[in-house]
Structure 1
Amino acid sequence: MELETIKTLLEKYFEGETSVAEEKQLRNYFSNPDCAPELEPYKQMFGYFESEKDSVWESTLPYETKATAKTFFSLSKIGIAASLIFFAGVLSFFIITNQEKQKNTIASTDLGTFDNPEEAFLETQKALALVSQKLNQGLEGVTYINEYQKTTTLIFKN
């Protein structure tokens, strides 16, 4: 009977529903040497809780309350070096992009020049034919708008 009571108390304990008296009953049961073999792991757990409840944590971490001048100057040197590297990167980025822009403007000024007027005339005709073709494709879509306009005027007469 006592074993079943302890098992139900353990279930309540792990669900967080035990009272202080029930937890004391569990500690007393697991502190006795005549514990059931299937409950042996719980005996170790409750034994650990009992042995560690009075222990106090002692800090062994060294901590420094004041920053030394040496630490400050070494950190400031690192900050200065990092900012110089950053500005050098930004400066090189702008120089490279400016050089690329200059190359593009030089290349774009060479376009469209012909020595032979007949060759220039033929290239102009090709370009205007392409523009005309694309414009006609765009106007095909506009015809639907005209049909829509006609239909709306038939439906909504003033």
Structure 2
Amino acid sequence: MELDKINKLLEAYFDGSTSLEDEAILMDYFNNHTVADHLLQYKPIFVGLSAAQNESSNRNFKIAEPTAKFIKPWWYAVAGMTVLAVGIGSLFLSQPQLSQEEKETLIAFEKSKKALMMLSENLNKGTQQLSFVNQFSETKEMFWKETSE
């Protein structure tokens, strides 16, 4: 009966679902009792864990004192504001300053563009009217072919 309990505890141990009391039972079994032959392969695990529990160190460890953490967020805020100020300043300062001649040239360009758009619209209307002329010519040709036959 005890062997069945140990087998179930081992399955639960390797599944990671044992409690500390269950693990203490397994430690006791593998360290203080005669172990069944089919469980001998697990004995080194529990003997090693038992030995590791008894180890201790005489060395003194120093834990470093944390430095003041309030400085970092302050520096991040300053860096962010600096980047924002430089970005906005460069946006306003980079506006193109046009001379009077360049302004006049731009105005003339816009007027030319409007005139060409108006010309293009009128030409498109004219080509629509020409499609009726082409249709008339085709119909006339068909009529002459029929009458000549």
TM-score range for the pair, normalised by the shorter chain length: 0.3 to 0.5
Question: Normalized against structure 1, the TM-score is what?
Answer: 0.43
- Structure with max Cα Rg: 2
